[in-house]
Amino acid sequence: MSRGVFVTGTDTGVGKTLAACALVQALRARGLRVAPMKPVAAGAVPRGDGWANEDTLALVEAAGPDAPAPEEVTPVLLREPMAPHVAAAREGREIRLEPLLDAHRRLAVRRDFTVVEGVGGFLVPLAPSFDARDLAVALGLPVVLVVGLRLGCLNHALLTAESVRACGLRLAGWIANAIDPAMAVADENVAALAQRLHAPLIGRLPWSPGANPADLAGLLDTSPLLG
């Protein structure tokens, strides 16, 4: 049976995709066949004769030569970069849970491990009837929390961890990602989270605009995800 994780973040723009790509690279370095997935993506750019999401393309690249096709990685691609349920409504579409689960099953059966990146934060609505948390619960995967190190991250991280555990999921670990190079007392914030999150710190990513995820993979300890 394929193993995997669901990668969520403390907010939008905290580096989930960078962290997910680095995770994919780190797991591949252990000899695992890894399938990335971003089930829902809002925001597309022209690509060839179609459209693609830049985060999706980054995940495909991280997965290497046997990566799934972009449309397998992201079965629901929305054109406009906004809240997914709003973007879907503007296109006359409704995101449904079961097709997303089917798409994940098709990927998981062919790989050793799946890295599923959520969209936005843990409670972002995906449709009138469900949100990103419901998707995570339905997938049943342990959660990796990406904490964007900036003012307010303590509250955001602790609230997200509380929500993860309240719905019965396991917080398998967290990644501290430096997104504000001017943040004061970043080390003290990381120490406070290490005391309170009650989950392994998988790694700490430095402020590195345009970084190659392969260069960051060595900063991550994936062993807590494989136990």
pLDDT tens per residue across span 7-29: 999 999 999 999 999 999 999 99
Residue 50 forms part of a structural domain: no
Instruction: Report pLDDT for 109.
Output: 95
pLDDT value at residue 48: 81
Quick check: is 91 in a domain? no
**61 located within any domain:** no
Burial of 208 per CB tally in 10 Å (0-12, 13-18, 19+): middle
Query: What domain count does the chain have?
Result: 1
What's the pLDDT at 1? 47
Per-residue model confidence (pLDDT) at position 217: 97
Predicted TM-score (pTM) of this structure: 0.96
Best CA proximity match to 144, nearest among 221, 210, 84, 213: 221
Instruction: Tell which phi-psi region holds residue 28, choosing left (phi > 0), alpha (psi between -120 and 50) or beta.
Output: alpha
pLDDT tens digits, 115-132: 999 999 999 999 999 999
Q: Residue ranges of the chain with pLDDT lower than 50?
A: 1
- Give the whole-angstrom CA distance, residue 155 versus residue 58: 29
Active site residue 16: no
User: Of the residues 16, 38, 85, 133, which is catalytic?
Assistant: 38
Provide the residue range defining the domain that includes 207. 3-37+98-226
